[in-house]
Structure 1
Amino acid sequence: METQINDVNIQIATVNGTGSQSANLILMRSIFNMGVPVAAKNLFPSNIAGLPTWYTIRAHHKGYQSNQQALDMLVVMNPNTVYDDIRGLRSGGILIYDTDMKIDHALREDLINYGVPFSTLVNQATDNVKLKKKVINMLYVGVIAELLNIEDAAIQQAVRKQFGSKASVVDLNAGAIQVGRDWAAANLKKVDPFVLESIPGATDNKILIEGNTAAALGALMGGCTFLSWYPITPSSSVCESLIGYFNRFRVKPDGQVNFAAIQAEDEIAAIGMVLGAGWAGARAMTATSGPGISLMAELAGYGYYTEIPGVIFNIQRMGPSTGLPTRTSQGDLSFTYGLSHGDTEHLVLLPASMQECYEMGAQAFDLAERFQTPVFVLSDLDLGMNTWMSDPFDYPEQTDLDRGKVLDAAALEQVADYGRYADVDGDGIPYRTLPGTHSDKAPYFTRGSGHDAKARYSEKSSDWKTGIDRLKRKFDTARAHVPAPVIHVGNGAVDFAMLAFGSTDAAMEEALDLLKDRGLEPDYMRLRALPCHEMVEEFISAHARIYVVEQNRDGQMCRLLSAEYPALAPRLRPVLHYDGTFVDAIGISQAILSHEAIKEPVHA
């Protein structure tokens, strides 16, 4: 049996609310600490406790961050799902199970079965009855550590990271891990090929972080001082993290607070407060998910038409309706892009990594003020709530904020005839004033009803068309200012290309490697924003077929691109993933091969 080094996919099947998350994070961080690139995916229920949860840790020497459907190792700790879990394990995989569950009749001969008396063994870790339910999870950390050769020092570092200065808690959990490790060393004969070995430099200067935390850091660095929100999965941790950063970095030594954070009564109130703060000159934001976006539609249109800056983070989940609150999706793209009734278009940023969650979290505020409009940052549950490995972020000592076209009293003195909605420069972007500006020219009436270039009420068709056409012109100006697409250039030997956006990019990176192994090296474009940059049309025009890979049922990006470039629409082919699970490279690769009539399967 050939040893398989630094390439293993581990899943732990447990019950939500039993404390397994701490054990899983310790296991994941232990692998990272010993220098092996790692990624984690958490599939959890939307209730508080009691239902099944599956946590997957992928360690791979190439640093792949995407999901992999096939499991190499499965730990079953949930008696309610144990039979389905075992049936789903690939042939040749490792099964670690609690012998006290009495499931010998369900074991498969084509698996490597390691039975461990977890329920009995936990008595060696603690005699506290209340703690046993949680401490038992640390035992499988120790068993896996022994089987995969995870270094003790890496584990100790991870335990201290998880529990901080709580010495007694650190000792209890580290001791439980050691109990599991010692038992495995004495009682299990290793017959599987998997082992982990330190890779010098592979995780040096890397961080582990969730996208919602990265987005909150970006908002902080982008100058955000106002947050209004209503809790909803999976966006709540954006706001919770930002409030934590506010309290650390927006409070002066004398105790003066330089921020406002308000939990609103609903999402309608939340975006209303954002627009009020943005109108007053603050950098303001909210965060929500699909159901909240639905409620925000009318005020999003108000912000678009009255030209008030604000930032809305949409951490997408599976819809429609309540849907699957803890499953990921890219299904809000079309709705968000044109959110509101009438002719409405919004700037939409599409981060694909922790770095971009951070960078676009800051950039959104510049764009909102430069173009005087609500800006949406479209993330998803996979990016937002899972742990990703990333390069550390750049924290500039001083940030130059782009406030856009703002006229102060001195500037107004140089203006002969100020009109709030006049297109002075021909780019569709008017000049604005802020409340409190000491000039008779500064005040204007902000109204969502028809108005002319001077913000006066008007129902004249000519005024309406002039205003709507100017907004379109402003939107077109933004094409050159939103983040440009990123292009991976293939070898030019195939006439098709691939296009994706957002969290799909992690699977695309691996899918391109799998296709390369088959002799196919297509070009690949990753969209980073809407409206589309001019590079997008050029890219589509250069290829006979474009496979648009996205995580929704209706091929929403494919439809948007078809509407944007109707002459090129026949070249666009959707490749879709929409069951709520995390998209994987093999599924993408096999879909491309099927479309290209190449029948041999792809294996990781």
Structure 2
Amino acid sequence: KMPPKQKSYVANMVYVGALAWLIDIPLANLEEALSVQFGGRQKLVDINMPLIKQSYDWAKENLPKQNRFKVEKMNKTDGLIMMTGNEAAALGAIYGGVSFVSWYPITPSTGIVDNLLKYLPKLRKDKDGNPSYAVVQAEDELAAAGMIIGAGWAGARSMTATSGPGISLMAEFTGLAYVAEIPTVIWDVQRVGPSTGLPTRTAQCDVAFVYTLGHGDTNNPVLLPSSIEEAFEFGYKALDLADQLQSPVFVLSDLDLGMNNWMGHPFEYPKEDIKRGKVLDAQELTEVENYGRYKDIDGDGIPYRTIPGNSNPKSAWFARGVGHDEYAVYSEDPEVFAATMARKARKFNTARSLLPEAEVKLNKKAELGIIAYGTTRYAIEEAIDLLKAQGLELSFLRLKALPVDKKLVRDFIESHKNNYVIELNRDGQVFRILQNEFPDLTSKLASIAHIDGMPLMATWVKEQILEDQA
């Protein structure tokens, strides 16, 4: 008994109740689903649920079960969480101690800062309950880069989030941070370029760009997350690495990971303390003779720095983007400049031991290997299973960072007759990086590069490898 107009809205519940009987869906689960569908509005649940129950009871008396189909409760998502890569990145940065963020909105990275603004007020307050962070929307990406570099110079843990066009505008300031050795983190949620490109499609086309971003001989550490767990992990590790290496650190996500919902395991609170790297306080500085901001005391290319506010008179130094000596004094001396560039190269090599290690799934039967990174991992893992069903065995190395661990990657390449470097860009950017790293192994490397704005497909990977092997 209900008003005639209402019947047309709830008539489909008759079907739901009968179907629930036929395939064993518990009524309690249906009521829960209705509550979710109607946003917890119990009045709407109470209108629909009696009709489902009546239909269920009628079907139970009049419709004998003559099929073998039924719904069984599953627990494959038990204990898992669901969120976007952008949200995971924001949470990771917060747990890594980020205290200054500057940005300019751009698809598909906007969600990172949206989530920072969502969670920072809850998670980052001082003992008096006041905000212990600042988030600034700049007038453009160039200004945002300048702000995070200034904050990094002042000792804050700083970051921005952008995509390809924004990275183009940040190139000049990134070069300044490289030369002055100022820590900061830049998230690049990649989309299809060049220029405006395809703003709402995914790609891996910024790798080579950010790896050497800046004119001259410039190298930047790059992290390559493939999941929400790694987006969270790299969210805090990137801040550690920036401080440890006194360098801009790029995290290359993509639209697929950043904007889509993914299932993953609950995040773990970082087990290690925050790593600020080589920072001298006033007392430590008194024990250092002849302090120089850019001296390579330990031989790893990483100098010791001081942060503004240090009361020791020796702590002051001039941050500059022009040539300088070990004491941060302006210099155009050729030998001094060459020594500075050689030290930066040593520092970049030191980064290899600090960055996340590649994941290797070695198949002892395989003569072929696949090298890839980021969200292509899922299609590649499926493609490996498809190829195995056709009698072709493969190993898989997934890069998590650049520069690579030379020994680990060299061992993998050498242990296979041929290695396919698979990526979502036109020119095979990581393929070319590996060629440069291992010029003696280029005959063992082959590029499979593809870009159409869509996520990688396992069947396409399978077909490309089978065609090459034919």
Letter in 2 for 1:572: L
Within 5 Å, give how 1:18-97 maps onto structure 2: none
Gapped runs of 5+ residues in structure 2?
Answer: 60-66
Please give the secondary structure, in 2, of the residue aligned with 1:378: strand
Deviation at 1:574? 1.4
Q: Structure 2 matches for 1:472-483, cutoff 5 A?
A: 472-483=345-356
1:173 Cα deviation from its structure 2 partner: 8.6
Deviation (angstroms), 1:421? 0.6
Task: Give, in whole Å, the separation in 2 of the partners of 1:533 and 1:351.
Answer: 16
C-alpha deviation, 1:151, in angstroms: 6.4
Structure 1, residues 365-406: CA drift from partner, whole Å, max 9, x if none? Answer: 11000000010010001111111111111125x751100000
What letter corresponds to residue 456 of structure 2 in structure 1? V
CA drift of 1:576 comes to 2.3
2-structure distance, mates of 1:286, 1:450: 27
1:124 aligns with 2:9: yes
Provide the residue aligned with 2:99 in structure 1: 225
1:323 aligns with 2:197: yes
Partner of 2:452: 579
Partner of 2:121: 247
Q: Does the aligned pair in 1 maintain the 2:324–2:330 contact within 8 Å? A: yes
Deviation at 1:482, TM superposition (A): 0.4
SS in 2 for 1:472: helix
| CA–CA distance in structure 1, aligned partners of residues 293 and 6 of structure 2 | 73
More helix by share: 2
Query: Is 1:285 aligned to residue 152 of structure 2?
Result: no
Task: Indicate whether 1:427 and 2:300 are aligned.
Answer: yes
Root mean square deviation of aligned Cα: 3.3
Aligned 8 A contact 2:35 2:45 in 1: no
Say if 1:318 and 1:360 are closer, same or farther in 2 by CA, change over 3 A. Answer: same
CA drift of 1:582 comes to 1.6
Identify the match of residue 230 of structure 2 among 356, 378, 384.
356
Kindly indicate whether the alpha-carbon contact (under 8 Å) linking 1:562 and 1:568 is maintained by their aligned counterparts in 2. Answer: yes
Using the alignment, how far apart are the partners of 1:142 and 1:341 within structure 2? 67
Cα pair distance change 1:256/1:290, threshold 3 Å? same
**C-alpha separation in 2, matches of 1:300 and 1:141:** 58
User: Which among 482, 498, 509 is matched to residue 370 of structure 2?
Assistant: 498
Cα pair distance change 1:122/1:358, threshold 3 Å: farther
Structure 1 residue 494 displacement after superposition: 3.2
Equivalent of 1:198 in 70, 73, 80: 73
Residue 258 of structure 1 corresponds to 132
Asked if 1:298 corresponds to 2:172, the answer is yes
Instruction: Give 2:411's aligned residue.
Output: 538
Residues 68-112 of structure 1, C-alpha deviations (whole Å, 9 max, x = no match): xxxxxxxxxxxxxxxxxxxxxxxxxxxxxxxxxxxxxxxxxxxxx
Percent identity of equivalent pairs: 49
The match for 1:211 is: 85
Relative distance call for 1:182 and 1:390 in structure 2 (3 A) is farther
Distance (whole Å) between structure 2 residues aligned to residue 123 and residue 144 of structure 1: 19
Residue 548 (structure 1) aligned to one of 418, 421, 428: 421
Unaligned runs of 5+ in 1: 1-119, 127-135, 187-191, 598-604
- CA–CA separation in structure 2 for the residues paired with 1:275 and 1:293: 14
In the TM superposition, what are the counterparts of 1:495-534 in structure 2 within 5 Å?
A: 495-534=367-406
* Aligned-partner Cα distance in 1 for 2:221–2:374: 15
2:174, 2:248 within 8 Å by CA — same for their partners in 1?
A: yes
1:122/1:176 contact within 8 Å kept: no
Alpha-carbon distance between aligned partners in 2 of 1:529 and 1:140, rounded to the nearest angstrom: 53
Work out the CA distance in 1 between the residues paired with 2:92 and 2:366. 39
Paired with 2:201 and 2:21, the residues of 1 have a C-alpha distance of: 33
Q: Contact 2:31 / 2:49 at 8 angstroms: preserved in 1?
A: no
**2:434 aligned to which of 545, 561, 564:** 561
Deviations 1:409-466 (A, max 9, x none): 0011001100001111100000000001001100010000111110000111111111
SS of 2:185's partner is strand
SS at match of 2:314: coil
- Do the aligned partners of 2:27 and 2:53 also contact (CA within 8 Å) in 1? no
TM superposition shift of 1:243: 1.4
* Structure 2 residue matching 1:509: 3-state secondary structure: helix
Specify the SS of the correspondent of 1:441. helix
Aligned residues of 2:31 and 2:45 also touching (Cα < 8 A): no
**Alpha carbons 2:367, 2:393 under 8 Å: kept:** no
Give the TM-score of the pair, scaled to structure 1: 0.70
Alpha-carbon separation, structure 2, partners of 1:178 and 1:576: 56
Change (3 A) 1:121 1:575: farther
Q: Does 1:447 align with 2:320?
A: yes
Once the two structures are TM-superposed, the CA of residue 516 in structure 1 deviates from its matched residue by 2.0
Shift of 1:139: 13
Measured after TM superposition, the shift of residue 537 of structure 1 is 1.6
Quick one: distance in 1 between partners of 2:382 and 2:117?
36
| Whole-angstrom CA distance in 1 between matches of 2:160 and 2:68 | 48
Q: Aligned pair in 2 of structure 1 residues 586, 335: CA closer, same or farther (>3 Å)? A: same
Quick one: structure 1 residues 279 and 594, their matched pair in 2 at CA, closer, same or farther if it must change by over 3 Å? same
Aligned residue number for residue 272 of structure 1: 146
Contact 1:446 1:455 survives alignment (8 Å): yes
Q: What amino acid is the match of 1:530?
A: L
* Cα 1:435–1:125 shift into 2, 3 Å: farther
Partner amino acid for 2:182? I
Quickly say closer, same or farther: Cα 1:312–1:167, change in 2 above 3 A.
same
Kept after mapping to 2: 8 A contact 1:142/1:178: no
Deviations 1:265-307 (A, max 9, x none): 1111111111111111111111001111111111111111110
2: CA distance, partners of 1:281 / 1:141? 60
Residue 313 of structure 2 aligns to a residue in which SS? coil
Instruction: Report if the CA contact (8 A) 2:14-2:52 is conserved.
Output: yes
Is the 1:122–1:139 Cα contact (8 Å) retained in structure 2? Answer: no
Structure 1 CA distance, aligned partners of 2:51 and 2:388? 45
Name the structure 2 match of 1:235: 109
For 1:546, the aligned partner's letter is N
CA 542–253 in structure 1, closer or farther in 2 if over 3 Å, else same: same
Structure 1 residues 145 and 422 mapped into 2: Cα distance closer, same or farther (>3 Å)?
farther
